[in-house]
Amino acid sequence: MDRTDSYHHGALRSALIKTGLELISEKDISGFTLREVAKRTGVSTAAPYHHFKDKAELLQAMSIEGWRMLGERFEAVSDVAETPSARLRGIGEAYIRFAMEHTEYFRVMSRPDLYYSGVYDENREATGLKVFEMLRSTVAGLFPGKKNDDPEIQEMVLHAWVLVHGFSTLWIDGSIKGTSLGELGIEELISMLFRSDPCLTQT
Amino acid sequence: MDRTDSYHHGALRSALIKTGLELISEKDISGFTLREVAKRTGVSTAAPYHHFKDKAELLQAMSIEGWRMLGERFEAVSDVAETPSARLRGIGEAYIRFAMEHTEYFRVMSRPDLYYSGVYDENREATGLKVFEMLRSTVAGLFPGKKNDDPEIQEMVLHAWVLVHGFSTLWIDGSIKGTSLGELGIEELISMLFRSDPCLTQT
DNA sequence: CATTTATCTTAACACTGTCAAGATAGATTT
DNA sequence: AAATCTATCTTGACAGTGTTAAGATAAATG
């Protein structure tokens, strides 16, 4: 390799994040190796340590990118939805499909113990919280006149979140496949899931 | 150590499972080491390999024990419940509390990629499925006259499962804490969760 | 051009999962 | 009881991991 190529001045940090996301898309999290991220980026084994405290901190940075992407999807869906209830249903489905398409991002994003290394990156907290707030304001849209922290809204936020997150994790972990529900197709399951929720089926 | 102590004739397998469960209760899954399990059991590094194909297979055996315990809890709750709906609510709560009390068992149990090593242990599949069937028959109790595979029952099983699993994972991963819902206590959240479900609040 | 600062590499450490070869214990046979 | 056999465990090694200290190299600055 060209010698000067290994000097990514200022750009190594983001290059590592990018390579890391590529790598995690191919293999699962257990095969995610800091050494291989470095090798693929064309840099020595120890190089990442000048940009990240440890492996967990790189994963944390990667999860920020995941949250940003999910936020974008939420926005895209919100823009085209015509009713508050269609909007809620839309971002719910977006959540599930994101988990299915980017399973390994999703794993890292929702498992702080994978990337926690003593200190939380405030950017990560902010990016994750932003997505949560998008959900909350979408739910609030169903209750015009009520404040954001109204108990009824809080309850519905919890319910919606739990529903899509629970389904996503069960699905990507393959837990559903082994049961009698596994005979159903994914589309059927999703519509079944939303049908079971009165809040999401109301017009 | 006494020399003969290291020869667990026939009992090493279960001893390793037991030690493994103890170890995983103290540390999280990322700190779970086959070598330490062996050392704690008073046996050499390579000894486990005469009883388990690899690390994943030990984890699989451990997860069977977890499913068995959860099944016991379900039965205990079912026995005391007086109405079908109280029974469903009871096992739902049991699911959540099990996840909170035995977080690391729960993690291994619900993540096949942690213990999958090429072949599924049929005992594990059977034990996990048994718990699922307990949920299904509990839901079926709400619809006397309908068959076990009635679509309406299937839908409600999915809904109930997703609800308790989603909440459990969000809680143990600390995802809720960072949001506005984090200000609420766990008891409050649980009752909020069940209140949001019309099926579980009906009498 | 010389010096400073930012960035990366080399070389090592302790630790991990895993395996092949040999040793030891208990059971079985004679 | 002695000898054999089988099940069980240990020793010692290998490749791969995260991580760190010390030194080298590139770019920026004077």
Q: How far is B45 from chain A (nearest CA, A)?
A: 22
Give the CATH number of the domain where residue B8 resides: 1.10.10
The reply to whether residue A179 touches residue B129, judged by beta carbons under 8 angstroms, is yes
CATH number at residue B81: 1.10.357.10
Nucleotide nearest to A13 (CA to C1'): C7
**A87/chain B closest Cα distance in angstroms:** 20
Question: Are B33 and B62 within one domain?
Answer: no
Give strand letter and number of the nucleotide nearest B51 (CA to C1'): D8
Which of B105, B123, B122 has its CA nearest to residue B114? B105
> Is residue A40 domain-shared with residue A66, that is, in the same domain?
no
What confidence tens digit (pLDDT) does each residue in A15-69 have? Answer: 999 999 999 999 999 999 999 999 999 999 999 999 999 999 999 999 999 999 9
Same domain, A187 and A93: yes
Among candidate residues B200, B57, B73, the one with its CA nearest the CA of residue B130? B73
Q: Could you give phi then psi for residue A117, rounded to 5 degrees?
A: -135, 40
Q: Are residues B149 and B179 in the same domain?
A: yes
Residues B150 and B180 in one domain: yes
- Asked if B4 is an interface residue toward chain A (Cβ–Cβ < 8 A), one would say no
> Do both A92 and A166 map to the same domain?
yes
pLDDT digits (tens, 9 = 90+) for B168-178: 999 999 999 99
Note the pLDDT of residue B50: 96
pLDDT at A117: 77
Range list of β-strands (E), A12-162 = none
Alpha-carbon distance of A68 to A64, in angstroms, equals 6
- Residues 6 or more apart from A3 whose CB is under 8 A from it? none
Split at pLDDT 50, 70, 90, the class of B1 is very low
- B87 and B22 in a common domain: no
Domain residues for B64? Answer: 56-201
- Give the pLDDT confidence of A75-116 residue by residue, as tens digits: 999 999 999 999 999 999 999 999 999 999 999 999 988 888
Number of domains in chain B: 2
Residue A197, pLDDT > 90, answer no
Mean pLDDT computed over every residue of chain B: 92
Are B70 and B118 found together in one domain? yes
Choosing from A33, A51, A69, the residue where a domain stops is A51
User: Mind listing the pLDDT tens digit for each residue in A105-149?
Assistant: 999 999 988 888 777 788 898 999 999 999 999 999 999 999 988
pLDDT at position B159 over 60: yes
Helical spans, DSSP H, in chain B: 12-26, 34-40, 55-80, 84-101, 103-109, 112-115, 122-140, 151-172, 186-195, 198-201
